[in-house]
Chains A and B, each alone.
Chain A
Amino acid sequence: MKGNRLATAAITLMAAALFLALLNWGAHLFFGPYGRRLLIAWGINSLLAVSLNLVNGQTGQFSLGHAGFMAVGAYASALLAISQPEGFGPFLGDTGSYLWILALFLAAGSAAALVGVLVAIPIFRLRGDYLAIATLGFGEMIFVIVLNLPATGGARGLGGIPEHTTVLVAFGALLVGVVIVKNLVGSRFGRAFASIREDETAAEAVGINTTKYKVLAFTVAAFLAGVAGSLYAHHQVFMVPHSFRFMKSVEIVIMCILGGSGSITGAILGAGVLTMLPEWLRLQERFRLKVDPRMVIFSALLVVLMLVRRQGLLGNRELSFSSLRAAIKKLGKNTLDRKGIADA
């Protein structure tokens, strides 16, 4: 049994490495610099959506301040990288560069998780829309603090951040994030999250420490958002606090909901749509408008989605090879059935 599990882990690891290598190779073969930037943006947004999914989709708590944790991670990582331009270079040479990036991620994630715990402990005394408003408030307060700290360069922005985020780094981080979230969801913790989502009072009644699990989900989500912020900082090289305001949080929420809250692949799908759609719109000549039409479309999309398909594109299902096979089988069976009726 134990050996079996080890083998599964080894196969998964190898598959992940193969996937990343193929992705990296494909990205360099088929895409130019623009395409690769878009791919990286998708990866970062996916990590944000997957992490928020843990709070919104799995635990059923509504957070509107996710961009705040992204900001904490982005600035922690950027300031650390700027203050140590050599990284681990002096000690480990070239091989240290990936370790240094890993260290930056851990620093960014830890900083965001720390802020996450501090925020979570008081606000999870609230429920529902009051919770949403309070997370919105904390997100904006993080923004105001970042804006006024002397080290962050304030509204003028922070430049000279070393570029570390490649397709490989971004999707590697996403993969690790997905594995963390997936394992968490499949574990005892995940069942506690789901019970809170379904009925908080009942969960409490059967002895689940709801506050503990809510804080846990929130903290892990904040950690991953911090890592995503770090990816963002080392991707953009220059950033301003205004990128991490309420609108960014809403964008992440839309990604989550569009794909289907409660589904990891759904979150990645939603992030893909919200990354690619505005770019595609931007490239359409006939839509050239004075103002970015992006937000009008997003907001209309959000309302229509809520009215027509509240559970999102995938609902709480996952896109996987087995579900694909099942769908094809069902399709085939339906066609056969229809044929059978026609024959009769």
Chain B
Amino acid sequence: MLSQQLVNAITLGSVYAIIALGYTLIYGVLKLINFAHGDVFMVGAFVGLYTISSAYLGLPFWLGILLAMGACALLGIAIERSAYRPLRSAPRLAALITAIGVSLFLENSFQMAFGAQPRSYPPIFPKEPIPWISHHLGVEMNFSQILLILVSAGLMIGLQAVVQGTRFGRAIRAVSFDLQTSQLMGIRTDRIIVLTFALGSALAGAGGVLYGAYYGSIDPTMGIMPGIKAFVAAVLGGIGSVPGAMFGGLIMGLAEVSVVQFVGSQYRDAVAFAVLILILLVKPTGLFARYQSERG
């Protein structure tokens, strides 16, 4: 029973981790809570639905995920260009309000276009738990759960390799550390920021498709709560830190599943905020904090 809950927690935590990776990257370079990130995740899920479902395009799963990632990357670029870049030198609150506006706009225009009712996702993988795992480990896991966990771990490792090992990654780190100085050092900061947006949004898009495949239904407001919880996960792990985002995501998954298990499912959303307020008050830089920024 307990080990089964642990598996559920890790699965849920992996979803949060994928979204949190994007948050942490974007916050790192722009110092902006990209409220629209959860909605980019939602858009990814919808692109997945329309490309994979046999009622529409009927493409294979892997192609659907790639298309969703591409579409979300483009969306991220569009958002950055049109809504955030003009406000780069404005007070940060103006940018935050704009981010909320973009988020609401995506949610509501999708509601108008696709309706507010949940849409069922095509059954891509068998829902039944894999017999080998239930026999040997005593927990029930189906294929999409394993895929979700593996993909999120893979994305984290890949991202960490990009951020730590490539020129692009070094530029991202430089921009996160000090935007103006890195500009003086000849880094094309606008380009790095827009590429970071594309990268983070693509991750969210992949997360959206995996989420849909696992939970089986999506709707235009599905991104709000995972978005907020992933943000909490990113803060918990330490904004700007890739392993921190992963770790924070897993902790959020654990916290949520244990609250549902031991306290009651009505407090499932409140736990995220409780964790956030706690972490901000006790250790506002997060567990794996890198940079000191204006927080407390």
> In this assembly, does B124 line the interface, its C-beta being within 8 Å of a C-beta of chain A?
no
Given contacts A148-B266, A303-B98, A306-B94, contact A122 B104 (CB under 8 A): no
B280: A residues at CB distance < 8 A: 125-126, 130, 134
Determine whether the beta carbon of A303 is less than 8 Å from that of B102. Answer: yes
Contacts A290-B115, A302-B100 given; does A126 touch B86 at CB 8 Å: no
B112 at the interface (CB under 8 A from A): yes
B281 to chain A, nearest CB (A): 6
Residue A125 contacts which of B87, B228, B296 (CB distance < 8 angstroms)? B296
Contact of B284 with A126 in the complex, beta carbons under 8 Å = yes
The contact string, 1 if C-beta is below 8 Å from chain A, for chain B 255-276, is 0000000000011011011101
A126 surroundings in chain B (CB, below 8 A): 280, 284, 295-296
Contact check, B273 vs A291: say whether CB atoms are below 8 A apart: no
Which residues in window 84-131 of B have CB below 8 A to A? 86-87, 90, 92-98, 100-105, 107-109, 111-112, 115-116
Scoring B94, B111, B270 by chain A CB atoms within 10 A of each residue's CB, the highest score goes to B270
* Pairwise interchain contact A133-B231, C-beta atoms closer than 8 A: yes
Q: Is the CB of A147 within 8 A of B266?
A: yes
Residue of A at shortest CB range from B93? A62
Query: Is A299 a contact of B101 with CB atoms below 8 Å?
Result: yes
Q: How far, in whole Å, are A296 and B235 apart by their CA atoms in the complex?
A: 29
Within 8 A of B (CB), among A142-182: 144-145, 147-148
Q: Main SS of the interface on chain A?
A: helix
Cα(A302)–Cα(B228), bound, Å: 20
Contact of A123 with B by CB under 8 A: yes
Q: Are B100 and A137 in contact (CB under 8 A)?
A: no
In angstroms, how far is the closest chain A Cβ from the Cβ of B101?
3
Q: Which of B90, B92, B101, B112 contacts A303 (CB 8 A)?
A: B101
What chain A residues lie within 8 Å of B104 (beta carbons)? 250, 295, 298-299, 302
Residues of A within 8 A of B33 (CB): 129, 132-133
A140 at the interface (CB under 8 A from B): yes
> With A62-B93, A306-B97 known to touch, is A141 a contact of B105 (CB < 8 Å)?
no
A145 to B274, CA, bound (A): 12
Nearest residue in B to A200 (C-beta to C-beta)? Answer: B294
Interface residue? B133 (CB, 8 A)? no
When A126-B296, A134-B276, A295-B104 are in contact, do A307 and B270 touch as well, CB less than 8 Å? Answer: no
B155 contacts the other chain (Cβ, under 8 Å)? no
Partner of B101 from A62, A127, A300 at Cβ < 8 Å: A300
> Secondary structure at chain B's binding surface: helix, strand, loop or mixed?
helix
A137 CA to B231 CA, complexed, in Å: 12
Let me know if B92 and A296 touch, CB within 8 A: no
Say whether B277 faces chain A, with CB atoms less than 8 Å apart.
yes
User: Is A89 in the interface zone, CB < 8 Å from B?
Assistant: no
Closest to A294 in B: B108
Tally B residues with Cβ within 8 Å of A.
44
Does B163 belong to the interface (CB within 8 Å)?
no
Residues in A with CB closer than 8 Å to B192 are none
Residue with the greatest number of chain A CB neighbours at <10 A, chosen from B87, B94, B115, B277: B277
Within residues 212 to 270 of chain A, which ones have a CB less than 8 A from any CB in chain B? 250, 253, 257
Tell me whether A193 is interfacial, beta carbon within 8 Å. Answer: no
Distance in angstroms from A55 CB to nearest chain B CB is: 12
Say yes or no: B296 contacts A127, CB within 8 Å.
yes
Please, which residues of chain B bring their CB within 8 A of the CB of A317?
A: none
Is B83 among interface residues, defined by CB-CB distance under 8 A? Answer: yes
Is B187 among interface residues, defined by CB-CB distance under 8 A? Answer: no
Check A332 for interface membership: any CB of B closer than 8 A.
no
- Chain B residues with CB under 8 A of A123: 277
Least CB separation from A127: chain B residue: B294
Taken together as a complex, chains A and B put the C-alpha atoms of A133 and B229 apart, in Å, by: 11
Is A289 an interface position by the 8 A CB rule?
yes
Give B100's nearest chain A residue, CB to CB: A250
Determine the chain A residues whose CB is within 8 A of the CB of B231 once the complex forms: 133
Q: Which residues of B contact A35 (CB under 8 A)?
A: none
B269 A122 Cβ-Cβ under 8 A: no
With the chains together, A74 CA to B98 CA distance in Å?
30
Q: Which B residue's beta carbon lies closest to that of A302?
A: B101
Whether a CB of chain A sits under 8 angstroms from the CB of B32 is yes
Q: How far is the CA of A126 from the CA of B279 in the complex (A)?
A: 11
User: Would you mind naming 11 contact pairs between A and B with Cβ atoms under 8 Å apart?
Assistant: A127-B294, A127-B295, A133-B231, A134-B276, A140-B273, A291-B112, A291-B116, A295-B108, A301-B101, A306-B95, A306-B97
B interface list, Cβ under 8 A from A:
32-33, 83, 86-87, 90, 92-98, 100-105, 107-109, 111-112, 115-116, 228, 231, 235, 266-267, 269-270, 272-274, 276-277, 280-281, 284, 294-296
On A, residues with C-beta under 8 Å from B are: 60, 62, 64, 122-123, 125-130, 132-134, 136-138, 140-141, 144-145, 147-148, 250, 253, 257, 289-291, 293, 295-296, 298-303, 306-307, 310
3 closest A-B pairs by CB:
A137-B273, A302-B101, A299-B104
Extra inter-chain contacts (20) besides given A62-B93, A122-B281, A250-B104, CB under 8 Å = A62-B96, A64-B100, A122-B277, A125-B296, A132-B93, A133-B231, A133-B276, A136-B273, A137-B276, A137-B277, A141-B273, A144-B266, A289-B112, A291-B111, A299-B107, A300-B101, A302-B100, A303-B83, A306-B95, A307-B83
